[in-house]
Amino acid sequence: MSERKLILVIGGTGAQGIPVVEALSASPNYSAIVLTRNLTSTRAQTLASLPNVTLLQGTQDSLPSLHAAFAHKPHGAWVNLDGFTLGEKNELFYGIRAYEIARHHGVKHYIWANTDYALRIAGWDERYHWGHNDAKGRIGDLILAHGRGEREGGLLGGMAVSLLTTGPYMDMLFDGMYLPQEKEDGSFVWRNPAANGKIPLIALADVGKYSLWILNNPLQSTNLNLAVATEQVSFPDIAATFTRVTGIPATHEPMPLEEYLPLAEPYPHAYANWALGPDTPRDKSVMTWRENFSAWWRFWGEGKGATRDMGFLDGVLPERVRSLEEWMRLVRYDGRPRAVLKGLEDMRGGKGTRTGEGNKVV
C-alpha cells in the first residue's frame, strides 16, 4: 500500500464532517488534518483519538487560518462551511476564498460540501431563496465552471474538483423539523407545511463513503456534482414506511405555513441566525427566520429537490443504505427524539450490517 495521502477537512466536527473524518481514518489511503476552532471540545477530541487524524487550531472565517491550513500541502481538501454561524454573505466570501487559497497552495483534489442552489433550480423565483443553501450552491457553480473550463482547455492538471451535494438528512427524523409527534392513542403524526413532493433524504453515515469514492476515483469524480440521497420520499411515504417498519399507525397532516411558522419560530421575529441572540448586530442582508424556513419548506416539500439519479448512486456505492425502510430498520427508528449524532452511533452498532463494518468502499 502506498503512502497515505493527507486530506484537510474543514467542518470536520459537524454532522457530515464526523463520518467523513472517520471514513478517512479507517481507509488505508488517507490521513486527515481537521481545522477546528476549539481543540479541546468533545467532538474535536473524539476525532483526534482516531488513527491518522490530527487537529489544527483555526477558524473557517479567517484568511490566515485558511492559509496556515492549506500550507500543510494536503493532497485533497473536504470543505463544509457552517452557514448557520457565518450567514449568507460571509459564507459566500469565505467559501470562495477557501477554494482560491486551495488552488494557490496546489491542492490536487477539492471537494466542496454543496447544497442545492434552490433559487436557480426554482427558476429564480425569490420565494425559494434562503441563504444557507444558495450560498453553497453559488460557490458550487463557480467551482464547476472553473473545473470544466480547465478540462475544455485540454488540461486536467490543475485541480480535480467535485461537489458532494446533500439535501436534508434522514437523521433529522430524530430531531428538529422532521420529528413526528406521538398522539394519545399511540399513533404518530407529522404535522408540517410540506406538500406531497419527494424529498431527497440522505443518511449521514453514507456521506463518508461517498467522500472516499470521490477521492479514490478522481477521473470519474472530477467536475462531477455528486448529488446524493438515500431515497426520495414524500411525507405520506415517510408515514407509510414508518407503519410498515413499526406496525404503528402514522399520518402526515399538512398545515399552512401561516399556521406553522408562529408555532415553530424560536422567538417572535427571530432572524435566520437566531441562535446568535436577538441583539447581535445584523445588516439588511440577514433573512428572518420565517423567510428562511418558508423557502426551505416550499422547495423541499414541493419536490423541487428530487433531482437525484438513484441508479447512478447505486453504481457509485453498491453498499449504500438503499431506502428509508432499510435505514429505519438499521437504526431501529421509533419516532422518538434522539440526538442526530447518537443516531449515527446506533447505526454503526447496528447488527450484521455493512455500516457496522465501518468504512469499506466499493
Reported as type and span, the H/E element at residue 290 is helix 289-301
Residue from 65, 166, 223, 273 in contact with ligand NAG (CB under 6 A): 273
Residue with cell 486536467: 156
Computed over its alpha carbons, how large is the radius of gyration of the chain? 20
Q: Which is nearer to ligand NAG, 96 or 264 (CB)?
A: 264
* Listed ranges 27-35, 199-207, 231-239, 241-249: which one lies at the site for ligand NAG (CB under 6 A): 27-35
Sign of CA dihedral 94, 96, 102, 104: negative
- What are the residues whose beta carbons fall under 8 Å from the beta carbon of 13, sequence distance 6 or more? 34, 36, 41, 43, 44, 47
Tell me, rounded to whole angstroms, the distance of Cα 305 from its chain centroid.
14
Binding to ligand NAG in span 54-83, by CB under 6 A: 83
Q: At what angle do helices 205-216 and 17-26 cross, to 10 degrees?
A: 50
Q: What are the DSSP E strand ranges found in 88-223?
A: 109-114, 160-165, 181-182, 188-192, 199-201
Q: Which is nearer to ligand NAG, 218 or 249 (CB)?
A: 218
Q: Which is nearer to ligand NAG, 116 or 325 (CB)?
A: 116
Q: Which is nearer to ligand NAG, 131 or 158 (CB)?
A: 131
Residue from 7, 111, 272, 330 in contact with ligand NAG (CB under 6 A): 272
- To ligand NAG, the closest distance from the beta carbon of 188 in angstroms equals 22
Any contact of residue 31 with ligand NAG (CB under 6 A)? yes
Any contact of residue 167 with ligand NAG (CB under 6 A)? no
Any contact of residue 41 with ligand NAG (CB under 6 A)? yes
Cell numbers at 311, concatenated: 441508479
Q: What is the rounded distance in angstroms from the CA atom of residue 78 to the CA atom of residue 3?
A: 19
- To ligand NAG, the closest distance from the beta carbon of 234 in angstroms equals 19
Any contact of residue 4 with ligand NAG (CB under 6 A)? yes
Residue from 296, 299, 300, 327 in contact with ligand NAG (CB under 6 A): 296
Residue from 78, 99, 128, 130 in contact with ligand NAG (CB under 6 A): 130
Q: Which is nearer to ligand NAG, 130 or 333 (CB)?
A: 130
Cell numbers at 45, concatenated: 477530541
Residue from 33, 212, 228, 250 in contact with ligand NAG (CB under 6 A): 212
Length of the chain equals 362
Number of H helices, E strands in the chain: 14, 12
Pick from 66, 136, 129: which is nearest to 101 by CA? Answer: 66
Any contact of residue 131 with ligand NAG (CB under 6 A)? yes
Q: Which is nearer to ligand NAG, 243 or 274 (CB)?
A: 274
User: Rounded to 5 degrees, what are φ and ψ at 295?
Assistant: -65, -40
* Listed ranges 36-44, 100-108, 202-210, 232-240: which one lies at the site for ligand NAG (CB under 6 A): 36-44
Residue from 84, 141, 246, 282 in contact with ligand NAG (CB under 6 A): 84
DSSP state of 82: -
**The 250-254 sheet, strands edge to edge:** 181-182, 188-192, 250-254
Q: Which is nearer to ligand NAG, 41 or 196 (CB)?
A: 41
Any contact of residue 181 with ligand NAG (CB under 6 A)? no
DSSP state of 3: P
The residues binding ligand NAG (CB under 6 A) are 4, 27-29, 31, 38, 40-42, 51-52, 83-84, 87, 130-132, 212, 216, 272-273, 292-293, 296, 361
